[in-house]
Amino acid sequence: AATARAPSPPAVNLGDAEAARDALEVTGRGVVPATPNSRFRNQPPGYPMAAARIGAEGTVGLLVQVSAQGVATDVAVARSSGNDSLDRAARDAVRRWRFTPARIQGTPVPFEYPLDINFILGDR
């Protein structure tokens, strides 16, 4: 008999964005990319039950347009997980997120932010 695996909250991978921010700061161009801000208590996407039932897992690569006010003005799936419900859950959750806006020489500016959301079922 198959063991039921409980879905765990999706993980948000900020590695690429943090590396990009560090690289930009080091070049001295005065550019700091937008980042999700924990003080806004952004909720991770829920694991869609239909996807959990069939054991669907994957990473959704999103491209988020962040306004100078830190609002996600557009969220596009740049790389699909291969499961529409996972892609939709990631996109819909991030649309509600708030970000610390990108800055150029201290002035908030719009920014395009890459973000990976990993959906992995628990109890492996």
Domain that holds residue 79: 14-119
Round to whole Å and give the CA distance between 116 and 107. 26
Q: Can you give the CATH number for the domain in which 102 is found?
A: 3.30.2420.10
6 occurs within a structural domain: no
User: In terms of residues, how long is the chain?
Assistant: 124
Residues 55-67 have pLDDT tens digits of: 999 999 999 999 9
44 occurs within a structural domain: yes
Higher pLDDT, 93 or 28: 93
Residues 3-25 have pLDDT tens digits of: 444 455 555 554 455 544 444 44
Other Cβ atoms within 10 Å of 66 Cβ, number: 28
Round to whole Å and give the CA distance between 71 and 116. 18
Other Cβ atoms within 10 Å of 36 Cβ, number: 20
pTM of the predicted structure, to 2 decimals: 0.72
Average per-residue pLDDT in the chain?
79
Handedness of CA 69, 100, 110, 82 (dihedral sign): negative
Please state the domain count of the chain.
Answer: 1
User: Does residue 27 surpass a pLDDT of 70?
Assistant: no
124 occurs within a structural domain: no
Residues 65-87 have pLDDT tens digits of: 999 999 999 999 999 999 999 99
